[in-house]
């Protein structure tokens, strides 16, 4: 166990050290989320009615959840590159704890996710977002966000190990996650969707997590959403972490 933690930290450090040296990746964490917030608020915002809240207040918790889910992309693409360049072979030939490569990756994502969440919140505050709750709930919101992002990093870790190239990690991930985040309460009220989509949106874990975030940051009625969101996050980790580790153990290089 001690070995697992030490090795995980070494790998996490590796992934954080290399980050500032990949400018395109850094751009994806910083400029891209800001761009999306501005586009949504100023392009769609006027056309979408969100009873009880301004669109900016409505949007920020939603878009942050979407953004955090996509944070795991770095893991998918990075792992796939490591696989093809033979680094996974090197790691697997070392006497290190086997889950550490994946645990290190996903832990590094937590740091980058926090960075982009802060950037998004600051952008939101500048264009008129305001928290409707106390500091405790705000911090709980951040924790939930990072926890959910961590779960999605495991989904992407698994994805990165099963696809054939970094490019396909990118497109498969995009095709799978993009509709999931859009058919949810993240950008529009669920009630405005056609019946079939509404049914899906209501059971979509993204809706539950987004609604939980609105409860924690805006003071929206929470219902069971916060605990529901935590439960979903735990379930996602319980499914995808073992899948990813299993896949890693038999990962054939290149």
Partner 1 sequence: MQQSAASEASGGPAPERVSRATRVDGSRIEGAAISATGLTKHFGDVKALDGVDIEVPTGSVLGLLGPNGAGKTTAVRVLTTLLKPDSGSATVAGLDILGQSSRLRENIGLAGQYAAVDENLTGTENLTMVGRLYGMDRAAAKRRSAELLERFDLSEAAGRPAGTYSGGMRRRLDLAAALVARPPVIFLDEPTTGLDPRSRLGLWETIEDLVDEGTTVLLTTQYLDEADRLADRIAVIDHGRVIADGTPDELKDMVGGERLEVTLSEPGHAERAVALLAPMSEDAPVIEDGSVKLTVRRRRGAIVEAVQRLQAEEIGIDDLGLRRPTLDEVFLTLTGHAAEVDEEGEGQE
Residues in touch with partner 1 (CB under 8 A): 3, 6-7, 10, 13-14, 17-18, 21-22, 85-87, 89-96, 252-254
Residues 6+ apart with CB under 8 A from 135: none
Closer residue to partner 1 in complex, CB, 135/252:
252
Nearest to 203, CA basis, from 222, 221, 220, 180: 180
* Smallest distance from partner 1 to CB 95, Å: 4
Rounded least distance, CB 5 to partner 1, Å: 13
Contact 133, 123 (CB under 8 A): no
176 Cβ neighbours under 8 A, 6+ residues apart: 159
CB 134 within 8 Å of CB 49: no
- Least spacing, CB of residue 15 vs partner 1, in Å: 9
Shortest distance (Å) from residue 254 CB to partner 1: 7
Whole-number Å distance between alpha carbons of 192 and 198: 8
Instruction: Pick between residue 8 and residue 225 the one whose CB is nearest to partner 1.
Output: 8
For partner 1, the closer CB: 26 or 230: 26
Largest CA-CA distance found in the chain, in angstroms, rounded? 58
Evaluate whether 152 touches 67 at the Cβ level (below 8 Å): no
CB 154 within 8 A of CB 240: yes
23 versus 52: smaller Cβ distance to partner 1: 23
Q: Are 114 and 16 spatial neighbours (Cβ–Cβ below 8 Å)?
A: no
Please say which residue, 10 or 39, places its beta carbon nearer to partner 1.
10
Q: How far is the CB of 138 from partner 1 (least distance, A)?
A: 35
């Amino acid at each position: 166990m001690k070995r697992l933690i030490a090795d995980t930290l070494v790998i996490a450090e590796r992934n954080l050290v290399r980050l500032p040296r990949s400018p395109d990746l850094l751009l994806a964490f910083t400029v891209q989320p800001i761009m999306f917030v501005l586009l949504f608020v100023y392009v769609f915002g006027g056309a979408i009615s969100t009873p009880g809240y301004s669109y900016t207040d409505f949007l920020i918790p939603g878009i942050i959840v979407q953004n955090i889910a996509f944070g795991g992309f770095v893991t998918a693409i990075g792992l796939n590159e490591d696989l093809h360049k033979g680094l996974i072979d090197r790691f697997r030939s070392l006497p290190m704890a086997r889950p550490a490569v994946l645990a290190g990756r996903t832990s590094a994502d937590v740091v980058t996710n926090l960075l982009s969440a802060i950037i998004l919140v600051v952008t939101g505050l500048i264009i008129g977002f305001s928290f409707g709750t106390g500091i405790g709930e705000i911090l709980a919101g951040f924790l939930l966000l990072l926890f959910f992002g961590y779960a999605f990093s495991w989904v992407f870790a698994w994805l990165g190990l099963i696809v054939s190239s970094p490019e396909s990690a990118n497109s498969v991930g995009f095709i799978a996650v993009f509709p999931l985040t859009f058919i949810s309460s993240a950008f529009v009220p669920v009630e405005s969707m056609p019946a079939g989509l509404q049914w899906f949106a209501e059971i979509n874990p993204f809706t539950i997590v987004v609604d939980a975030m609105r409860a924690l940051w805006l003071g929206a009625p929470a219902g069971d959403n916060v605990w529901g969101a935590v439960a979903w996050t735990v379930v996602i980790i319980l499914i995808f972490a073992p899948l990813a580790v299993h896949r890693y153990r038999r990962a054939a290089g290149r």
